Amino acid sequence: MGSRHLAYVGEPRTLQSLLLDPPHSLAAQSWSPRTQLHGVVNADGFGAGWYALGRDEPVRYRRAQPIWTDASFASLAPTIASGCILGAVRSDTTAFAHDESVVAPYTQGRWLFSHNGGVADWHRARRTLYDRTLDIPEAAAPTDSALMFGLAASRWTAGTPLGKALVEVIREVEVVGGGRLNMLAVDGRSIAGTTYGERLWVLEKDTGISVASEPYDDDPDWQEVPEGVLVEGNEHGLTLTPLEL
């Protein structure tokens, strides 16, 4: 499955300013991505998750339709601001289901999660790894992304740090054939992401950090993350660490 996704942490921004307004926004990437390796358009659903003041658990909005057709999202996006946001647009290049349950971001507790890529041997992975996922409906959705989210969520709820859990998920999926395992996750204060078969770009400013499948504007400070790296960003800055698998 292909997709475009992005995460932001920093000074509060509206959903409109991050997901809809930039010249190469996530909305623009849904019909005209510039650097996508798999899939052509991302019109099989979209989602956004964000954190409201005084609430630990995120708010989530998901639809199985293209982002540009949703007038309700367009009307609420300018009115919602948050210091931590995760958005995704989906391209279903597989035979997976086509309802909201398979659209990122996935959520449990204070975490939001998105996956761009695909598990090479989905049926084997599900047979082998499903009983290691957190026992929640989100992890039971019929898609490889939900399986990976369930594996990560089981670790987060047990106390594993945000980024370390993603590295451990890659390790587990590698045992059953691997795949393109580009993940993004946030917990309200931090971002973690992995480049593993798909690209990520980072933009670090005084006002905040963005991690995205591709740059959403023409800022010259965007930097491409090398393959095989764990990206972590928070109020203290950005860290890139080679994956240890």
**What domains, with CATH codes, occur in the chain?**
2-242 (3.60.20.10)
- What pLDDT is attached to residue 25? 86
Q: Residue 23: how many CB atoms within 10 A of its CB? A: 9
Rounded CA-CA distance 188/52 in Å is 9
The tens digit of pLDDT for each residue in 120-167 reads 998 899 999 999 999 999 998 888 899 999 999 999 999 999 999 999
pLDDT over 50 at 11, yes or no? yes
pLDDT in tens, 94-105: 555 566 777 889
> What is the spatial distance between Cα 3 and Cα 104, in angstroms, rounded to a whole number?
9
What pLDDT, in 10s, does the model give residues 15-54? Answer: 999 999 999 988 777 654 445 444 444 455 799 999 999 8
pTM comes to 0.91
Alpha-carbon distance 10 to 38, whole Å?
A: 30
Taking the C-alpha atoms of residue 81 and residue 14, their distance in angstroms, rounded to an integer, is 4
